[in-house]
Chain A
Amino acid sequence: MDPQLLIKLVLLLGLGAIALLILWPGRGARRLALRRISLLLLVACAAVAVVFPQLSNAVATLFGVGRGADLLLYGLVVCFVGYVIATRAHHSRIDIQVTELARAQALAQAVEPGSIHG
């Protein structure tokens, strides 16, 4: 059996969770709560890893990864991808709002159609 199978599954599940979080149509409150819970979990994991550095090695071995540092790197990659995608989504929402605002302002200041040629 592929000795890396377990870590591959875990990482793919992480990426899948990100995809789900992005595509999830749910209402604002649930989405926000989920986002906050996952961030808190991340901070908790980070704190544990700081206090017990040898633990990351043990967990890495458990998943069939060589060293704890590698496991942290993989985790970082998954988090980074999630961050990029979330930021992108946020950015495009802001973009739409700025567009609506600027267009409304432009139309509010425009001369009335028909005012030039009667």
Chain B
Amino acid sequence: MIGPREPTLDNSDTWLVVPLYNESSVIFDVVSEALLTFPKIVCVDDGSTDSSAERAEQAGAYVVRHPINLGQGAALQTGFDYVIRDSTARFAVTFDSDGQHLTADAARMVERLRNEDLDVILGSRFLDNRTSASPMKRAVLKLAIKFTNLTTGVRLSDAHNGLRAFTVEGLARIRIRQNRMAHASEIVAQIGRTRLRYAEEPVHIVYTDYSRSKGQSLWNSVNILVELILK
């Protein structure tokens, strides 16, 4: 019996794009586990100073190495360019390297792209109650969504979720210029501008102690705002 929500294909036409920066302690496990669902994973090593790139390679990922640290936005764009090189690629999923995303969520999003007339599916933490975030974090994220919805014309419930699934056609129309953190808003803005057909999918974010210690501090929302306004 095949479970109703399990993807039936082997996802060999799908790339997982993983921006990677100093995650040597977890990247091997993240890649190994994701490979069970997605046979093609490209890790864009953003000038890590630890052994992240080697660990990702050992786990079986394709690794593209930035010679210097450029920022997550640049890493994503490099990953997109890499995926577009592969003529057999039909879908790409952006996936975080710290283990906070679930491959089951990613697989479900690709499955939706296969079956529905959409260009992009964005993960959302706030469509159901599975994700637990602190009230402060929740408030800041809500504010960010308000800002994004106001400035881009795209209606979303979660603007800064790293889990996104694109068709290759959709991907080719995205061009990330914001190197640092503001790229999430930029992607949303470009989805609005290029009129990609989008939908949201509820996803679960695993806030472990590890991801919390590495993750977005609230100070980063200040940085994002400044980057968006001052370019």
Contacts and interface: CB of A to CB of B under 8 A. Distances in A.
Given A113-B89, A117-B39, A105 B67 contact: yes
B42 A113 contact: yes
Contact of A113 (B62, B70, B74): B62
Contact of B66 (A92, A103, A111, A114): A103
B67 A110 contact: no
A114 B70 CA distance: 26
B142 interface: no
B81 A107 contact: yes
- Chain A, interface SS category: helix
Given A99-B74, A117-B40, A107 B68 contact: no
- Chain B, interface SS category: mixed
B85 interface: yes
Contacts of A103: 66, 70, 74, 77-78, 81
A112 B62 CA distance: 9
Chain A interface residue bracket vs B: 20 to 34
Contacts of B74: 99, 102-103
A67 B97 CA distance: 61
Given A102-B66, A102-B68, A103-B78, A113 B60 contact: no
A113 B179 contact: no
Contacts, number: 58
A95 interface: yes
Nearest to A100: B74
Contacts of B65: 106, 109-110
Nearest to B69: A102
Given A99-B74, A103-B81, A116 B62 contact: yes
Given A99-B179, A113-B42, A107 B64 contact: yes
Nearest to B15: A113
Interface string B28-41: 00000000000110
Interface in B32-72: 39-40, 42, 44, 60, 62-68, 70
B55 to A, nearest CB: 16
Contacts of A110: 62-65, 82
A29 B19 CA distance: 40
Interface in B1-49: 12, 15, 39-40, 42, 44
Interface of A: 88, 92, 95-96, 98-99, 102-103, 105-107, 109-117
Interface of B: 12, 15, 39-40, 42, 44, 60, 62-68, 70, 74, 77-78, 81-83, 85-86, 88-89, 177, 179, 230-231
29 contacts: A88-B230, A98-B70, A102-B66, A102-B67, A103-B81, A105-B67, A106-B44, A106-B66, A106-B78, A107-B64, A107-B78, A107-B81, A107-B82, A107-B85, A109-B64, A110-B62, A110-B63, A110-B82, A111-B62, A113-B40, A113-B42, A113-B62, A113-B82, A113-B83, A113-B86, A113-B89, A114-B88, A117-B12, A117-B39
Given A105-B67, A110-B62, 19 more contacts: A92-B231, A98-B68, A99-B70, A99-B74, A102-B68, A103-B66, A103-B74, A103-B77, A103-B81, A106-B67, A107-B64, A107-B78, A107-B82, A109-B64, A112-B85, A113-B42, A113-B62, A113-B85, A114-B88
